[in-house]
Amino acid sequence: MARKLYRTAVVGATGAVGNMMIRVIEERRFPVADLTLLASARSVGKELSYNGTAIGVRELREDSFAGLDLALFSAGAGVSRRFAPLAAAAGCVVVDNSSAFRMDPAVPLVVPEVNRDALRDHAGIIANPNCSTIQMVVALKPIYDAAGIKRIVVTTFQAVSGTGKRAVEELRRQCAAVAAGAEPESSVYPHPIAFNCLPHIGPFLDNGYTEEEMKMVNETRKMFGDPEIRVCATTVRVPVYYGHSESVVVETCRPLSVAAARELLEAAAGVLVVDNPAENLYPLALNAAGNDETYVGRLRGDPSVANGLALWVVADNIRKGAATNAVQIAECLIRDGLLRVPAKN
């Protein structure tokens, strides 16, 4: 029997995440009938390769979604806010990588390893979580299921690719400038990122936290369906191209030994435990880059609190943190018979 194929669009196809969505669709042999690449008017004329064929980028317009089954959006929250509802109204299911709908109670926010069941309630739009949240919840899911989670203190080491292609170029240029004895020039970030750490990701809010930090608080609660989980996040940009690293210190509700946590993590979907300090083996951004797993290591008890565990979590922020998770959501929609926009009540 021929496999059913789906008319699919990537919105924001020329961006770092959009590019990677095309790669991941290829790699995973996602059942595409016809791939439509959409972007703003200034990208029209560009061609991108898909399975060896050059596909021209088309302008994203209000009528772009007629006849499509699925659109993966990664073009910023403003574009999603305007076009995702139009796509859904046209019968095209949207998996949206922006922050536009993540906290909308009517929109499922999904990491398949964590809360695939939430897809059942979608009304045409599914939100893909923030990169730094995705890898943390993948690592914490088996711990949460076994022992509950009371509090998380997380500090991130985030790669510049999360900001986009211009930030990758900025880091490259700044490194070259420093090597040549010149002053590094900054335009993407307010300060040099080369050989520096910026405790500033996303705008600052009135409570002293950044938007990125509050995403880690709110998205974690929403995905675990547990508003009681307490999270203190510090999100930091570091001079790394690909791969976010995270220091995660967690207080479970019930006791969970390190050995039991390790066993659960080793069996967990999407997790690869790399944790052999005697051999200098622990998760590293350079090793995670290009892979889809969430790497967990430095697993140890935290004797500074009852039921404390500490771990080090690393993943490719453009893949599992964005493109791969979005494609995985689409795969789940197909498998669960949910790749259709339900009729309104």
Distances (CA, A) of 270 to 19, 102, 136, 189: 22, 22, 12, 32
End-to-end CA distance of the chain: 34
Whether 175 is a known active-site residue: answer: no
Nearer of residues 38 and 143 to its own copies, judged by Cβ: 143
Establish if 86 lies at the interface with its own copies (CB under 8 A).
Answer: no
Shortest CB 278 distance to its own copies, Å: 7
Q: Which of 58, 200, 221, 340 binds its own copies (CB under 8 A)?
A: 200
Whether 191 is a known active-site residue: answer: no
How many CB atoms neighbour CB 36 within 10 A?
A: 21
Binders of its own copies in range 179-198 (CB under 8 A): 179, 190-192, 195-198
> What is the phi-psi region of residue 296: left when phi exceeds 0, alpha when psi lies from -120 to 50, beta otherwise?
beta
Burial track 261-285 (b if 16+ CB lie within 10 A, e otherwise): beebbeebebbbbbbeeeeeebbbb
Nearer of residues 43 and 210 to its own copies, judged by Cβ: 210
- The two tokens of residue 320 are 């599992």
Q: Of 175, 200, 244, 253, which is the active-site residue?
A: 244
Establish if 277 lies at the interface with its own copies (CB under 8 A).
Answer: yes
Give me the 99-138 binding string for its own copies, x by CB under 8 A, dash otherwise: ----------------------------------------
Establish if 172 lies at the interface with its own copies (CB under 8 A).
Answer: yes
Establish if 164 lies at the interface with its own copies (CB under 8 A).
Answer: no
Type of residue found at 112: P
Establish if 284 lies at the interface with its own copies (CB under 8 A).
Answer: yes
Phi, psi of 226 (to 5 degrees): -140, 90
Nearer of residues 90 and 232 to its own copies, judged by Cβ: 232
Alpha carbon 23 to chain centroid, angstroms: 16
Alpha carbon 231 to chain centroid, angstroms: 18
- Interface with its own copies (CB under 8 A): 151-153, 155, 157, 172, 175-176, 179, 190-192, 195-200, 204, 207-209, 230-232, 234, 236, 238-241, 245, 247, 249, 258, 277-278, 280, 282-286, 297-305, 308, 310, 312
Question: Annotated catalytic sites, by residue?
Answer: 131, 244
